Structure 1
Amino acid sequence: MDRSQEIIRTSWIGIAANVLLAGFKAVVGILASSVAIVLDAVNNLSDALSSVITIVGTKLSQRPADRKHPFGFGRIEYFSAIIIAVIVLSAGITSLVESVKKIVNPSEPSYTTTTLIVIVAAIIVKFVLGRYVKCKGEQLKSDALIASGSDALFDAVITLTTLVSAGVMLLWGISLDGILGAVISVVIIKAGVEMLASPVNALLGTSIPAELTSQITKEVSSFEGVHGVFDLVLHNYGTDVMMGSLHINVNDTMSAYDIHGLTRKISAQMFERHGIIMTIGVYAVATGDNRRAELQSEVMQTLSVHKEIVQVHGFYYSEADGILSVDIVPDISVHDDTTLVSQLTSEISPLVPGMRVVIVIDHNYCES
């Protein structure tokens, strides 16, 4: 069973659990002539909505790529997670409003044996369901499942506070409905915002995890002929499609044929191990006893003394074109790129009188 099938199967379990719980509440409510319990059963049917959204989103995300969407529809999963997170957030806000009303205008709730049985059953079902769905979501890296599982867990917590409030009311005659409800509501709102942040950040584009950056750099550097890995960029189009690019240093004596073979091997390994469709660029490292190699060493030494420069690469020198170019990655503390470029250009220019010096500012897209 592949990932999408696992997500859909888990969501169907969520729907079945909510429908069964709703059926149980409806039967108990009808037998006990309790309109409140029957209405709560209807509410459980609406709780299945998050699972339905997850199923629809997962199925849509599996649509094959077309001309207008060459990267596929994998990001639809993020929209599913956003919708569910908004539902959780709305529930938290609604619960907070109702709790504040109870604090301002407290009323004495009444509890029966039937009510308490329903409450206990709801807590057990929602807690087990929530844990199962959330764990599956973390295992399958599905924000929608994680949000759906969290939604069920919050339902269990809210119902538990109702049970605690009922116990306090029966034992000491003190109503804590409003206060406990307000506290739990704030927790739900906070969690809803965090749930919303994950898929939104994925859509906006987040930095590459340091662990993945280190792993890719290590793997690519292990290929014979590679003398440095730079400019790693990754774009996520869902869990199944990831596009990326990077540059490698190779000796300037390496033939185009050998470079072609090397880049193909790297691309193949990136796809096999990480599912990344990787484009490989090349920087030529000057070798031998010549003016280009001498300048390369001088430029690297000149720039490396600057503490605000994290990395120097991409050295290029051409007498025919009258240009010397080099790429730098400044520290995150550098905010004025123009001033830095002007300063570095003035330091490098004396090394190549009469030639154009180009300092290219690169940015670090990784967490490290």
Structure 2
Amino acid sequence: MELGFLKDNPRSSKAMLTCAIGLAVNFILASAKIFAGWSSGFLSVMGDGFNNLTDMGSIILLMMTFYYAAKPSDKEHPFGHGRLEYINATVMAAIILYVGITLFIESAHKISNPTDTEYSPLIIISLTLGIIGKLFLAWQYKKTGKEINSESFNAYSADSLSDLLSTSSVLAATLVESFFHYHIDGYMGVLMSLVILWTGYTIMKKAVNSIMGSTPDPEIYESIKNCILGCKGVYGVHDLIVHDYGPENHFATAHVELDSSLTFMQSHELSENVTTVLREKLNIQAVIHADPKAVSNPREAEYQRDLEAAIYRSGLPLSYHDFFVQEKEGEIDLSFELALTGYCKLNDGEIYHAISDELRKINPAYHIETMIDRNFISGKIYGND
């Protein structure tokens, strides 16, 4: 596999080195625990070793994250290769779930048919080594996460600390069974299988959600929104959609509100500036749609307050955006989009009539044109006849 392009990406190179360290440590821990558990009959120790193997799979996925993030796009994959990580994650999650189910069945059988286990100093040594190894990895992941500003490594650090506590509980169970002759190894094996199953479920859920298209990370969403609002000439932003094509490979579309008195060329220039700022500051490719805002109309704020009052009086869970007003021939044309902020049993047409009726109670001169957004899915435009 050609890795030459990683040389020009210090962030990915640092991540790969840390992942290699994690693989080596987890391989040593898994080998020691599985051998010690197999030779003595302690299933809980073997289960802890299998948990280290699942950690190796997770680290491989993390390595793929940085590998594909650094790999340039090509003609067949113009948006990069990052989404392959999610496909591989589903395969890894399936393997983890299989291991967890198998261990659960074997442990349940041992609870029903307990057998004597053979105490060995190798058990204590392997588990103690596991505690030390996980403590080292937690520190290493945390250090790398801080150096390259990676939340993934911070999460792996937290996972290593939880593994440390899990191994400590297995060590305690081993000592109890060896010195007090209580057969609790099967119960601890069940506990470890549940941990492995939970790990597999978590990875599977996250991978499937990423493939289907899930809500973006709130921090990414807010950083994009704040970056757009910080651009010159932008009065508002809405309908911001973030498209995830893999780690650090995001595209965005957004509607920005610009002064309606601007010429087409001026609006185009400001929109281009927004895309440039997003590309330079956040490394995000963006498509910007310009919406007019009647900045020079001194009565616009009054009309917006009337809309807010109409929404309040309707009692419906709504917010609005893309507000625009035109005054002509004794009529006041209000154009806006509504978005649901909670459950609403009314359909789009009923929502339109409810808001329209409330607005006309305030001012009969209002003519309303609106559309209801449901999770970025726009429907019919009402009032444009």
Does the alignment reach a TM-score above 0.5?
Answer: yes
Which string of whole-angstrom CA distances, capped at 9 and with x for unpartnered residues, describes residues 314-367 of structure 1? Answer: 4265979xx8642222322324323102333455685367xxx531113466xx
Letter in 1 for 2:196: I
Instruction: Say if 1:50 and 1:148, in contact at 8 Å, map to a contact too.
Output: no
Structure 2 residue 354 is the aligned partner of structure 1 residue 343:
yes
Residue 206 of structure 1 aligns to a residue whose secondary structure is: coil
1:147-193 CA distances to partner (integer Å, 9 max, x unpaired)?
A: 7994x777766654443233112321212101222223323323432
8 Å Cα contact 2:82-2:247 kept in structure 1: yes
The alignment's C-alpha RMSD in Å is 4.2
Give distance in 2, aligned partners of 1:223 and 1:328.
25
Pick which of 48-57 and 335-344 moved more: 48-57
Count the aligned residue pairs.
349
The answer to whether the aligner puts 1:360 opposite 2:351 as a matched pair is: no
Distance 2:32 2:216 in 1: 47
TM norm structure 1: 0.75
1:300 alignment partner, one of 295, 301, 304: 304
Gaps of 5+ in 2: 1-8, 377-385
**What is the Cα deviation at residue 68 of structure 1?**
3.6
Describe the shift of the 1:243–1:210 C-alpha distance in structure 2 as closer, same or farther (beyond 3 A). same
Q: 1:196 to 1:157 in 2, by over 3 A?
A: farther
Aligned partner of residue 119 in structure 2, secondary structure: coil
Among candidates 306, 315, 330, match of residue 324 of structure 2 = 315
1:163 to 140, 161, 171: 171
Cα deviation digits, residues 227-283 of structure 1 (max 9, x gap) = 222222111111232111222222222222322222222222212222221222222
2:4 maps to which residue? none
Task: Name the structure 1 match of 2:201.
Answer: 193
Q: What residue in structure 2 maps to residue 279 of structure 1?
A: 287
The 1:46–1:348 alpha-carbon spacing in structure 2 relative to 1, beyond 3 Å, is: closer
C-alpha distance in 2 between matches for 1:141 and 1:360: 38
- More moved, 12-21 vs 301-310: 12-21
Q: 1:242 aligns with which of 250, 254, 259?
A: 250
Normalization by structure 2: what TM-score? 0.72
Once the two structures are TM-superposed, the CA of residue 104 in structure 1 deviates from its matched residue by: 0.9
Q: 1:326 aligns with which of 336, 339, 345?
A: 336
- Decide which moves more: 179-188 or 235-244: 179-188
Distance in 2 (CA, whole Å) between partners of 1:77 and 1:317 is 49
Question: 1:133 & 1:11 partners in 2: Cα distance?
Answer: 9
Give the whole-Å Cα distance in 1 for the aligned partners of 2:345 and 2:339. Answer: 12
Partner of 2:24: 16
Partner of 1:182: 190
* Contact 1:85 1:147 (8 Å CA) reproduced: no
Q: 1:269 aligns with which of 268, 274, 277?
A: 277
| Cα pair 1:129 1:149 within 8 Å, conserved | no
Amino acid at match of 1:2: P
Q: Bigger shift: 214-223 or 91-100?
A: 214-223
Distance in 2 separating the partners of 1:65 and 1:348: 51
Does the CA-based 8 Å contact 2:41-2:118 persist in structure 1?
Answer: no
Distance 1:156 1:87, change over 3 A: farther
Q: Equivalent residues in 2 for 1:114-133 (5 A)?
A: 114-126=122-134, 128-129=136-137, 132-133=140-141
Q: 311-320 vs 117-126, which deviates more?
A: 311-320
Provide the residue aligned with 1:230 in structure 2.
Answer: 238
CA distance in 2, matches of 1:146, 1:206: 19
* 328-337 or 342-351, larger mean C-alpha shift: 342-351
1:297 shift after superposition: 6.3
Contact 2:243 2:251 in 1 (8 A): yes
Q: 1:24 to 1:163 in 2, by over 3 A?
A: closer
Q: 1:267 to 1:83 in 2, by over 3 A?
A: same
Per-residue CA distance 1:180-234 (angstroms, 9 max, x = gap):
2222332332343233333333333333444444444444334343222222211
For residues 153 and 178 of structure 1, do their structure 2 counterparts lie closer, same or farther at Cα, with a shift above 3 Å needed? Answer: farther
Aligned residue in 1 for 2:380: none
Compute the displacement of 1:61 (Å).
5.2
228-237 or 279-288, which moves further after superposition?
A: 279-288
CA-to-aligned-CA distance 1:276-329 (integer Å, 9 cap, x gap): 21222222123557xxx86x6675344321133312424265979xx8642222
- Identity %, equivalent residues: 26
**Is the partner of 2:75 in helix, strand or coil?**
coil
Structure 1 residues without counterparts, runs of 5 or longer: none
Go from structure 1 to structure 2 and tell me whether the alpha carbon gap of 1:205 and 1:22 turns closer, same or farther (over 3 Å shift): closer
